[in-house]
A and B are shown apart, each in its own frame.
Chain A
Amino acid sequence: MDLFDILLNASFWAAAVRIASPLIFATLGELICERAGVLNLGIEGIMVAGAFAGWMTVYLGFGLWTGVLIAMLVGMAFGFLHAVLTVPFGLSQHVVGLGVTLLATATAYFAYRLSLPEVTSPPKIEPFQPFEIPLLAKLPLIGPAFFAQTALTYLAFALVLAVWLLLYRTPLGLALRAAGENPAAVEAQGLSVTAIRMGAVIAGSGLMAVGGAFLTMSAFSSFFFEMVNGRGWICIALVVFGAWRPGKAALGALLFAAFDALQVRLQQTPMGAIVPYQLFLMVPYVLSILALVFMSRRAEVPAALMVPFNKGER
């Protein structure tokens, strides 16, 4: 099987779309935070917490969508913590973000060990099943790739459009973007920068958690340690790569996922027998760094990103 065969294989593109889905959720979440002026380094831990909370809810016998909802609420709770500390109190977004990541990760692991002290192999749940969209799923190549996925994947792509509409076609979106560009102007309009930023961080964190939940509820069917494995950090790179625009960021996630799916398949080729597998596994991280390098010069960073706003201060 050579490269050409892989690229013409529908299962490859289906895998790419599947791998992109959690990244799209979390990237959109991070994008909303950053557009409002807050860098949310809690993303990695919030994804872990979401992965655990969603999985645990279903494991306890509740429905899949209840799991997604609980994951989102848990993410929003950690987002609230991040927002309180970074927005009204203006604490370092780096420190708080890393602190939230450690706290959320440790809380998820603690809760996992507490509820399942003795397990050696992680128990499974019945995850979201793929369903074909009539007609569209019959299209060659594109059909199985995009239209025979799980409900969460469809939701991810629908959210790209929703977030774009929110940011560029609603007054709220305008206010949110302005809070990240020129907070003083927002305040002059009689709006509260604090409220907008806190809302953005809380909502964005909810999305990150759903991204995490995708891992346990759609991609795999159990929760295990280290399963998020840097995906949160990759999403931060994807936001930069997408120049803080939802459509471009989602495209970046797809491109990235395609490379990830490709490296897995290349491991099965004769090339994989010569090249150590660790080199293939490095591909996602190296790509993220390259994406940052190539896009950083052209990117339009929100002007007030990481600048705390204190009313009455100039």
Chain B
Amino acid sequence: MRLEPIANPTLARRIVLPAVALALTVIAASFLALLAGANPFATLGLILSGAVGSKFALLETLNRATPLIFTGLAAAVAFRARLWNIGAEAQLYAGAAVTVILGTGALGLPAALLLPILALAAMLAGAAILLGPVLLKTRLGVDEVVTTLLFNFIMLLFVSYLLEGPMKDPMGMGWPKSAALIPEARLPRIVTGLRLHWGFALALLAAVAVWVIQTRTTLGYEIRAVGLNAEAARFAGIPVNRVMVKTALLSGGLAALAGFSEVAGLKGNLTLDLSPGFGYAGIIVAMLALLNPLGVVLSALFVAGVFVGADSMSRAAAVPTYIADILTATALLTMVLALRLTHARVRWR
């Protein structure tokens, strides 16, 4: 078989194929539910109502979407330049660790000063974590996929050391967790009484900022040029390596904000299970959004909904919560295939 590019796909093609991808995901969900001996329609209904069925569910989804928007943006920014940052998990923990180090009393400032400082410090930490792999890439040609992946494991062990050693909460009854943030270091709730913190607003702001950078600035143009064809970009006088490094700093910083927002907005301290794979899920979020920063918000809400919905469903029905991971992975694979087929026709001879 052969693929023949389509220059201008019809609107029908643009709508039908992604819809088929989504339908396949739903069919996969039904099949898994059947496998678990549950009613597929009831299961899907439970997932849906668990994600958006009540005010509580909806707020939970928005909360879960917050770190995913950050890590999704981190992946979207990097992948646009073909910088394969798979290390958002490590950058997230770096951001979280710095937030806790500075936010547990080391800096006695009012909230209006302290919070921006913490966010900025977290971003710097995340950027620093990614700087190593990206310099290895630009200077020595070391593939960044594997180095960033391996950094995830190193960082998690480092945080584990911090939590059992220097950062251990003396009042923690022996549990490996950090001391609690001081009240000034906590992100307040957007509306009093509702469990949604300002981290979500910050995430939306970040999405808009990244969109502005990508579409309205020279750096955004350079990132796209490097991603489309690094050789051509170099030939056109774009400092490819410098653009790579800038992209990495931005991407690492965004991923670190996920850690900052989870600690300062939601948890209030640092434990080793702060992130159930937000860094990896961010890659799915970015790909589903076609690397579009505003699309990242929508796809983060979708992915968060699937996870929150599946959590609540598995409490009611005997379907393991891992169904959510299968569904998001299926959505990813079917969607990239659908998009490919939107722009290319299969010729069998």
Contact = CB atoms under 8 A, between A and B. Distances in A.
B24 interface: no
A310 B2 contact: yes
A148 B136 CA distance: 41
Nearest to B2: A311
B336 A102 contact: no
A41 B333 CA distance: 14
B322 A109 contact: yes
Which secondary structure dominates chain A's binding surface? Answer: helix
B340 interface: yes
Contacts of B36: 114
Contacts of A207: none
B140 A296 contact: yes
A296 to B, nearest CB: 5
A293 B142 contact: yes
B322 A103 contact: no
Interface in A267-314: 276, 278-279, 281-282, 285-286, 288-289, 292-293, 296-297, 310-312
B145 interface: yes
A117 interface: yes
Interface string A86-127: 001111101110111011011101100110010000000000
A233 B149 contact: yes
Contacts of B283: 95, 98
Nearest to A97: B145
A292 B143 contact: yes
A96 B36 CA distance: 27
A102 B142 contact: no
Interface in B132-173: 136, 140-143, 145-147, 149-154, 157-158, 160-161, 164-165
A288 B329 contact: no
A179 B160 CA distance: 44
B157 A281 contact: yes
A237 B146 contact: yes
A240 B140 CA distance: 14
Contacts of B207: none
A53 interface: no
Interface residues of A, number: 48
A89 B337 contact: yes
Interface string B154-197: 10011011001100000000000000000000000000000000
Nearest to A45: B329
Nearest to A292: B142
Nearest to B159: A278
Contacts of B2: 310-312
B49 interface: no
B336 A95 contact: yes
A292 to B, nearest CB: 5
A96 B146 contact: no
Nearest to A234: B150
Contact of A292 (B147, B165, B328): B147
A229 interface: yes
A310 B337 CA distance: 16
Given A89-B337, A94-B84, A109-B322, 18 more contacts: A81-B333, A85-B333, A85-B336, A95-B283, A99-B336, A102-B284, A106-B325, A237-B150, A240-B146, A278-B157, A282-B153, A288-B150, A289-B150, A292-B146, A292-B147, A297-B140, A297-B141, A310-B2
6 contacts: A103-B325, A106-B325, A109-B320, A288-B146, A293-B140, A296-B143
